[in-house]
Amino acid sequence: MKKAFYIALLILTAGCARGPEDNTLREIEAISAMRQLSLVEYRVRKIVKADDEGEWYKIGDRKILLSCTAYLKAGIDLTGFSADDVDIDRLDGSVTVRLPHATLLSMDIPASEIREEFGQVTLLRSSFTAEERNALLRQGEKQIRDSVPSLGILEKAEENARRFFESVFSKMGFTSVEVVFEP
């Protein structure tokens, strides 16, 4: 009986042992190639405000109001773009270009453009730490990212993409340029 117990314990602990995959580190290439055409930039402002009443055992509250500027760039990811996406008709001088829909390509919130507009901490509370301020800004960053579909930036990027490719192919001598966005 005892023997069976030890065997069972051995099997269980062996099952819990870390596999070799736990020790492998995630590897990231320092430089990676990409092909993205940024066609529009939106500069946006966002107020990040929080009122911390604290836990039940904390007396007093603290408030903070930060403002930040974000630079959003949208455009076309041309990574999968190939000759198959361009249909040329030499006879009537027309060309059809198929492009993927516009996406948000980058978002930049420079630290130098984040300002603490107001801060109030009552006597018995500690002031906001760097970590807490950053956690609040992280939430602000997420709210900005979530607002992208309603900002109209993607529509503007597709409008600019159409204009950009029409201009490029017109210079090549094509008389009719059609830009089609496909999912």
Partner 1 sequence: MDRKTRKITLSVSPAVILLAVLILCGILFIPSRFRREKRSLTIDDTPVVVTRIQSLGELTTACFYDEIVLTRSKQNTLSSSPLGSLARDGFGKDMDDHLVIIAKGTVRAGVDLMEMKPEDIRFSGDTVVIRLPSPQYLDIIVNPSDFEVFAESGKWSHAETTELQDSARRRLIMEADHAGLKTKAYEGAMEAVTDLLTASGYTYIRYDHIPSYIKLPRFGD
Q: Which residue, 11 or 49, has its beta carbon nearer to partner 1? A: 49
CB 141 within 8 A of CB 106: no
Tell me which H or E stretch contains 7: helix 2-16
Give the residue carrying structure tokens 């405000």: 49
- Applying CB under 8 A, the span of 6-14, 15-23, 167-175 interacting with partner 1 comes to 167-175
169 binds partner 1 (CB under 8 A): yes
Interface with partner 1 in residues 85-114 (CB under 8 A): 85-86, 88, 90, 95, 105-112, 114
Tokens found for residue 70: 């974000």
CB of 77 to partner 1, least distance (A): 10
Angle at 149 between CA 147 and CA 155, to 5 degrees: 135
Give the C-alpha separation, 53 to 39, whole Å.
Answer: 44
Which one, of 134, 132, 129, lies nearest residue 114 by Cα?
Answer: 134
Interface with partner 1 in residues 11-50 (CB under 8 A): 28-50
Q: Which residue, 2 or 50, has its beta carbon nearer to partner 1? A: 50
How many chain residues touch partner 1 (CB under 8 A)? 81
- Applying CB under 8 A, the span of 1-9, 10-18, 19-27, 169-177 interacting with partner 1 comes to 169-177
164 binds partner 1 (CB under 8 A): yes
